[in-house]
Amino acid sequence: MPGTETEGRRPDRFAFGRNWRSFATLVDDGRIEAAGASLAGALGRADLTGCAFLDVGCGSGLFSLAAHRLGARVRSFDVDPDSVVAAAALRDRFAPGSDWPIEEGSILDERFTGRLGTYDVVYAWGVLHHTGDLWGAIDAASRLVASGGLLYLSVYNDQGRQSRVWWRVKRRYTRSGPLMRGVLLAAGAAYLARRLPLRMLGRAVRLDAPSRAVRTRARGMSARHDLVDWIGGFPFEVARPEEVFDFLRSRGFALRHLRTCGGGLGCNEFVFERHRGG
């Protein structure tokens, strides 16, 4: 499942930004608080005052906004211009007048990343496996972490044959018209419904309801938009947790937080700390 074309230019790339612009209309204070709680839990601190925070592939801008509310100095970028528009709209709506730059750029563009500097927290949740060059993207993100800083990322779990099937589904989605996309979404929803325990399924169904408790457990996200992102999200790469661990350990990072999907479908979440002086 390798991808070598420049990120954002391949014709079969999913329209991530269009989906995030739709999601951004749902964002409210409850979702922002939920996103902030998930950041604080993984990073081990609820106060980011004084921290430089870089959001790689900011999507809707929700987690940039959450980091801003936790006190961080935030900078965001995304390769998709619709995502840049979505994040800017959230900034203007919830943090007007803030010093929070949002740019269009690719983590795979060395000329772009070379001028970004380094950050106390580099956040790349569910992003780098959609670039078409997962390991190059992880390496590029790691170079943006300051000495003693944190790299917070999530990467799709490698399920072997099942992951190869999903790769084909996602590519088919991006190459299809509206009718086939609807069929794939319906089939994907039915498949996931059978795979999820009833407790998790009920939570997912209620995810767009105005329930603060439900949203807090789900990072403030939307089940409907997450489904579209999952079925259509292409390029698509995967990795085993130990592969991510070994790759970053060899680059001077130590694992500080890990949450896996139990070997199943979904993302494995990591927080790595860069050794001081590294």
- Alpha-helical (H) ranges within 3-148 are 16-24, 29-43, 62-69, 81-94, 110-113, 134-142
Question: Is pLDDT above 90 for 204?
Answer: no
Please state the domain extents for the chain.
Answer: 11-278
Phi-psi region of 266 (alpha: psi -120 to 50; beta: other; left: phi over 0): left
Architecture of domain 11-278: 3-Layer(aba) Sandwich (3.40)
77-102 CB burial, b ≥16 within 10 A, e <16: bbbbebbbbbbbbbbeebbeeeebeb
User: What pLDDT does residue 89 have?
Assistant: 96
Q: What are 113-144's pLDDT values in tens digits? A: 999 999 999 999 999 999 999 999 999 999 99
Cβ contacts of 177-184, under 8 Å, gap ≥ 24: 181/232, 184/231
Kindly report which listed range (63-72, 99-108, 134-143, 174-183) carries the lowest average pLDDT score: 174-183
Judge whether 84 and 108 are in contact, CB under 8 Å.
no
pLDDT for the residue numbered 37: 95
Q: What is the mean pLDDT of residues 202-219?
A: 41
**Predicted TM-score (pTM) of this structure:** 0.87
Q: Both tokens of residue 204?
A: 């997912």
78/55 Cα distance (integer angstroms): 8
Determine what percent of the chain is predicted with pLDDT higher than 90: 69
Which stretch of 7-21, 51-65, 204-218 has the lowest confidence by average pLDDT?
204-218
Above 70 in pLDDT, residue 212?
no
Average pLDDT over residues 216-242: 80
Q: ω into residue 11 within 30 of 0, thus cis?
A: no
Q: How far apart are CA 54 and CA 75, in angstroms?
A: 5
Q: How far apart are CA 261 and CA 230, in angstroms?
A: 15
Whether residue 121 contacts residue 51, with contact meaning beta carbons closer than 8 Å, is answered with yes
List the single range of 5-9, 180-184, 227-231 with lowest mean pLDDT: 5-9
More confident residue, 219 or 52: 52
CB 162 within 8 A of CB 197: no
- pLDDT band at 157; cut points 50, 70, 90: very high
How is residue 87 annotated by DSSP? H
Over range 40-50, report the average pLDDT.
96
- Is pLDDT larger for residue 118 or for residue 184? 118
